[in-house]
Amino acid sequence: MLEVKNLRKTYGGLVAVEGISLQLGPGDIFGFIGPNGAGKTSTIKMIATLLRPTSGTALIDGIDVVQYPLEVRPLIGYMPDAFGVYDDIKVWEYLDFFAAAYRLRRDERTATVDRVLEMTDLTEKREAYVQGLSRGMQQRLCLAKCLVHDPKVLLLDEPASGLDPRARIAIKELIARLGGMGKTIIVSSHILPELSDFCNRIGIMERSKLLIEGDVETIVRELQPTRQLLITPLGGVHATPPLRALLEETEGVEKVSLENGDDGTLRVAFAGGLEEQAHLLRMLIENGQQLCSFAETAMDLEDVFMRVTTGRVH
Amino acid sequence: MITRTFRHLVLDNPMTLEGARFWRRFLRTGGDTGRAVNATIFVLLGVFYLWLMYAIVHFHEDLNAAILGLELMLLTLLVPASLYASVSGEREKLTWDALILTRLTPAQIVVGKLLSRLALIVGLQLLIAPLLLLSHMCAKFNSEYSGAALVLSQVALFTWSLLLAGFSLWVSTKTKRSVTTLALITSALLAFLVLLPALILLFASGSGNSNPEVLTWDGTPLQQLSACLLHLHPVGVLYGDLMRTSNHQAGDLWYAERLFTTTPWVYGMGALLCLFGSWRTLRGMEIARRSRG
């Protein structure tokens, strides 16, 4: 559905985007992660036909965005990070205007407006004036506007920035629902927990380069080949040395480090699978270790991000 | 072909929504306080309007010159004020990208924005027409304007307004900030309406002679050019050409003919050129986005 090939953008001497390539299919929700200034917005704008790449291209549904921007535009819904809405019109008029601008027939428009209002949970605000809506509702309205022409690809640049937690959750749920409807979605954000819930694929950008890209599980496995176990002994930090000594002698344990100095929790890098993990727990108990907790901790997007990026910006 | 173009540009043009927005903004600003202020202004204007009618009927005064002056002033102020932010304002308010990503054509954008303001021009002229008619019919003495001259004045004012609208729209497409657009339009209007006539009267009519009557077609090339510019001035049209035409002075036919064939046409052609310029700029912006980013 979306294929990006060696996309590159320079502004004079500054390289904003350096040779990005990726491929997304229907239903993919791609989380574009990176610090401010990494090149996420430039990449999204190039895919949205609003910026011409210096080199490389992107294909949406097989159509080149550089050569045929006018043909591509009806296929995409673009929500910029900073957007404006027209004043002095009602919510339904705003959506009807964009539906008409996308050349939907007059008789289709009312049903379309009702559909996107329901989808974005704005039905109650149908007759409200746009400028009277809260920031969160305006975000949803902007998303509703992106949906009136039923695009195949959605490009959402920081869709949840500046929203309160409730509105943020609502936007996240909506994006997940849209992904479920088979739309290909690119969501950029620098707030990682925001993306981890609903993205099946991620790409991490830093200093104009896409450092890593793929589905979340594969990336985590690549970056963390061992299981991470957190083991807390009863008795706190005083009970840690014998437990640590026992773990270090055990087969499959690659590294043991103190995670929490207060309760004596140890972080264990363990190379075995789930069965070996169960054996390890039984062995510890049989060896007289009294444990408060024994749990695997999964690497989250924040860990991935911190591992991959250097923290440097342009 | 014509019907299809008309449908595309007028009937099926969503940009005409601008008209509704414009009037709502005009009538509905600032909540209850704004509504109260608007209501007060409308009542005062209504009283003034009725008083004018009463004065015309009761005192048999010919107020056409004053009414035309008022109409010229209102149109000259209101038309640019309603259009200066039409495109630059979209960029400022970050709505432009959303607009350009739709399937709207540059022609639809230009025509839609213009059409919504045409209502303002026509509405104002329709409002003033009864006053002119009444003043013409009730005047105790011969009116300074003949009936034909009054009709001509409205044609001239309409085309002048179109020129202003086209020019405002064109400048708006060229600039990124509304305040720049406003400054450019104001400067251009001041230069054309005030500075240029002042300079012509000071210098082109000869040393020490500031009588515009010497600026004739028989003078030097500079005087001919100056005469041409002065006769394109809307004040010159309303208070010079039309009055002379009405009073059957020498050159009556010549003046009327020139007025018919030149001034409104020049205004109209100027308006068309500006609209074409706006269209080209919008189209150029689309291409520039594609080629340059």
A246 and A210 share a domain? no
Within-domain flag for A74: yes
Q: Which chain A residue has its CA at the smallest distance from B23's CA?
A: A88
Comparing alpha-carbon positions, the chain B residue that sits nearest to A88 is B21
Give the residue-averaged pLDDT of A181-194. 81
**Residue B134 pLDDT > 70:** yes
Instruction: Tell me what the pLDDT averaged over chain B comes to.
Output: 79
Q: What is the pLDDT of residue B183?
A: 94
What confidence score (pLDDT) does residue B16 get? 77
* Domain shared by A106 and A200, yes or no: yes
Inspect the interface and report whether the beta carbons of B100 and A103 lie closer than 8 Å: no
Q: Do A43 and A95 reside in the same domain of the chain? A: yes
Which residues on adjacent β-strands are paired with residue A291?
Answer: A233
Q: Which residue has the higher pLDDT, B201 or A279?
A: A279
Partner residue opposite A80 with nearest CB, options B97, B102, B104:
B97
**Average of pLDDT values for A161-165?**
76
Cα distance from B290 to chain A (closest Cα, Å)?
5
Answer yes or no: is pLDDT of B291 > 80: no
Cβ neighbours of B91 in A, within 8 Å:
none
CB pair distance less than 8 Å for B293 and A66: no
* Same domain? A78 vs A191: yes
Q: Tokens 């809260």 identify what position? A: A134
Query: Within a domain: residue A304?
Result: no
CB contact under 8 A, A80 and B102: no
Least confident window among A84-98, A194-208, B117-131: A194-208
Each residue's pLDDT tens digit, A2-52 = 888 888 888 888 888 888 888 888 888 998 888 888 888 889 988 988 888
For A24-28, the CB contacts below 8 A with 24+ separation are A24/A184, A24/A186, A24/A201, A25/A1, A25/A184, A26/A1, A26/A152, A26/A182, A26/A183, A26/A184, A27/A179, A27/A180, A27/A182, A27/A183, A27/A184, A28/A1, A28/A179, A28/A184, A28/A185, A28/A200, A28/A201
Chosen domain end from A200, A221, A242: A221
ipTM of this complex: 0.76
Lowest mean pLDDT among A145-159, A257-271, B104-118, B200-214: B200-214
What CATH number is attached to the domain comprising A159? 3.40.50.300
Helix axes A301-308, A216-223, angle to 10 degrees: 50
User: Which has the higher per-residue pLDDT, B222 or A251?
Assistant: A251
The secondary structure of residue A90, as a DSSP letter, is: B
């310029």: which residue's tokens? B277
* Span of A89-103, B18-32, B41-55, B171-185 with lowest mean pLDDT: B18-32
B chain contacts of residue A97, beta-carbon cutoff 8 Å: 14, 17
| Helix (H) or strand (E) run with residue B193 in it | none
Q: Are residues A90 and A208 in the same domain?
A: yes
Residue B133 backbone class (left: φ over 0; alpha: ψ -120 to 50; beta: rest):
alpha
CATH number at residue A283: 3.30.70.100
Using an 8 Å CB-CB cutoff, list chain B residues near A89: 17, 20-21, 24
Residues A28 and A109 both lie in one domain = yes
Q: Name the pLDDT band for B126 (thresholds 50, 70, 90).
A: very high
- Reference A254, options A269, A274, A276; nearest CA is A269
Q: Is A113 part of a structural domain of the chain?
A: yes
Residues in B whose CB is inside 8 Å of some CB of A read 12, 14, 17, 20-21, 24-25, 28, 93-95, 97-104, 289-293
| B69 pLDDT higher than 70 | yes
A155 in the same domain as A11: yes
On the CB side of A39, CA atoms within 13 Å amount to 26
Nearest CA to CA, how far is B80 from chain A (Å)? 20
Residue B210 has pLDDT above 50, yes or no: no
Same domain, yes or no, for A187 and A259?
no
A161 and A202, same domain (yes or no)? yes
For residue B190, the model assigns a pLDDT of 93
Residue of A nearest to B97 (CA): A50
Closest residue of chain A to B8, computed from CA coordinates: A103
pTM above 0.80, yes or no: no
B101 with A50: Cβ contact below 8 A: yes
pLDDT at B251: 47
Residue A24 Cα, gap to closest chain B Cα (Å): 22
Specify if A308 maps to a domain: no
* Same-domain pairing of A103 and A209: yes
Question: What's the structural domain count of chain A?
Answer: 2
Compute the average pLDDT of residues A98-112.
90
* Structural domain boundaries, residue A243: 225-298
- Of all residues in chain B, the one with the smallest CA distance to A50 is B289
3-state secondary structure of A87: coil
Q: What is the CA radius of gyration of chain B?
A: 22
Q: Which of A143-147, A191-195, B63-67 has the highest mean pLDDT?
A: A143-147
Is pLDDT at A292 greater than 80 in this prediction?
A: yes
A189 and A111 part of one domain: yes
Residue A301 has pLDDT above 70, yes or no: no
What is the model's pLDDT at position B3?
81
